[in-house]
Amino acid sequence: MILKLIIRNAFRHRLRTILTVAGVAIAILAFGMLRTLVGLWYLGVERSSATRLVTRNAISLIFPLPLSYKERIRRIPGVKSVSYGNWFGGIYIDEKHFFASEAMEARSFLELYPEFLLPPEQKEAFIRDRKGCIAGKKLAEMYGWKPGDLITLRGTIFPGQWEFVLRGVYRGAERSTEERALFFHWDYLNETLKKSSPRRADQVGFYMINVAKPEVAADVAQAVDRTFKNSLAETLTETEKAFQLGFASMTEAIMIAIQIVSYVVIVIIMVVAANTMAMTARERIAEYATLKTLGFGAVHIGAIIFGESMVISLLGGVLGVLLTFPAAHWIESELAQFFPYFSVSLSTVGLDLLIACCVGAVAGLFPTWRGATIRIADGLRRIG
């Protein structure tokens, strides 16, 4: 009986209910999208390898390190392997088509990052070709690249027109693995610099170190920095997680602002829903008084009002969650240049539904108290 009354009351004013449900759904959708954006921003930090270290110049990442450091790092106890590279920052066609491009020591780089899956024949073709490069699956699909294609990038950090031959297309071991990057041989970059800018040759932007086990990572990092202390190019060695967190922290203020906005949206819809339920309860004061004369107690009246608020909010919450997935898919496909991976987690879905319940509870709190405590005489006095 109570449930039937709740359902009928919820849809008595259909337009009002539809608008309220739509408002809650849009708020939940916005909240879920913003929370997903913040979560994905730090995804690379969370999934960093515990056995990889990054060594860069202690002053700044823009200052290089000598290539001669490689062998000295390799001899430090606890180091399994060492790779190195430079951020290239090339531009394809024009600035609108920018993507990550890096010069790496090919063989050691692929061994150090097994999450980049490359067919064996393409891997060998890439390693053998000094002008060869590999690109992520999403990047290759975006531009229609196939193995054997000639790719020309305009250098920014390293000026000039740089030509590469695509020798392989890698895919990520997980959906979150970056598939919009291009990697080529560091030797190709270095040999060209020896001819055009000899002073910039035999220098790397960073070293990537693979340690035997996570427990020795801190000791190895300290040992590397001690080795080059008081040299012309002192080093700063940190875990891959700390290295990526350094980039993420540059935009921390923006991420905090996005989180604040997501909660402000929920507060606004709480106020709107509360106003709707208060108006509904005020219109039905006489009905609640009549129900009391028929034997309904304060608990029953409160359950009807509170249940109506929860039903409307949950309908909006469920609709918002359902809209979140196609919205995320649209972002991932149409805005792949900015969001190559945009997936809504189960924790976000759970939080969305919890927020919807909170909206319903807060919106129904005052009307429930008002309806449950109204006196029969006061309620009947308002008839007409």
User: What is the Cα–Cα distance from 321 to 71, expressed in whole angstroms?
Assistant: 53
Q: What does residue 118 show for φ and ψ, rounded to 5 degrees?
A: -130, 130
For the cut 60, the answer to whether the pLDDT of residue 384 exceeds it is no
To the nearest whole percent, how much of the chain has pLDDT over 90? 35
**pLDDT tens digits along 54-108:** 999 999 888 999 999 999 999 999 999 999 999 998 888 887 778 889 999 999 9
- Decide if pLDDT at 126 tops 90: yes
- Per-residue pLDDT, averaged over 198-206, amounts to 92
Query: What's the CA gap between 40 and 342, in Å, rounded?
Result: 7
Pairwise pLDDT comparison (340 vs 342), residue with the higher score: 342
Tokens in use for 186?
């560091």
Mean pLDDT of 330-347: 71
- Per-residue confidence (pLDDT) for residue 262, from 0 to 100: 82
Q: How confident is the model at residue 248 (pLDDT cuts 50, 70, 90)?
A: low
Going by their DSSP bridges, the two strands 150-155 and 235-239 should be labelled as unpaired
Residue 18 binned pLDDT confidence (cut-offs 50, 70, 90): confident
Who wins on pLDDT, 325 or 38? 325
pLDDT at res. 243: 78
The CA distances from residue 138 to 23, 146, 324, 332, 367, in Å, are: 35, 12, 23, 11, 52
144-153, 286-295, 302-311, 375-384 — most confident range: 144-153
Mean pLDDT of 115-126: 93
Could you report the per-residue pLDDT of 361-379, keeping only the tens digit for each?
888 877 777 777 777 666 5
CA 381 – CA 383 distance, rounded (Å): 6
C-alpha to C-alpha distances, 60 to 64, 114, 178, 263, nearest whole angstrom: 9, 28, 24, 36
Q: pTM surpassing 0.75?
A: no
Express each pLDDT in 272-288 by its tens digit: 887 777 777 676 667 66
Amino acid at 290: T
Residue 324 · residue 349 · CB < 8 Å: yes
Task: Please compute, for residue 138, the number of CA atoms within 13 A of its CA located in the half-sphere on the CB side.
Answer: 21
Q: Tell me, what's the pLDDT at 351?
A: 86
**Helix 298-334 and helix 346-373, axial crossing angle in degrees, nearest 10:** 150
Q: Does 251 score more than 80 pLDDT?
A: no
The predicted structure's pLDDT at residue 93 = 82
Q: What is the model's pLDDT at position 32?
A: 86
Residues 343 and 328 sit within 8 Å (Cβ to Cβ): yes
* Spatial distance between the Cα atoms of 301 and 314, rounded to a whole number of angstroms: 20
The pLDDT of residue 245 is above 90: no
- Could you tell me which residues are beta bridge partners of residue 155? 160
Q: How far is CA 352 from CA 25, 30, 306, 307, in A?
A: 10, 10, 20, 19
| pLDDT band (50, 70, 90) for residue 185 | very high
Q: What per-residue confidence (pLDDT) applies to 261?
A: 84
Residue of 8 and 357 predicted with greater confidence: 357
Helix axes 298-334, 14-41, angle to 10 degrees: 50
Percent of the chain, pLDDT > 70?
87
Q: Which stretch of 43-57, 147-161, 230-244, 353-367 has the lowest confidence by average pLDDT?
A: 43-57
In this structure, what token pair is assigned to residue 80?
Answer: 């399994």
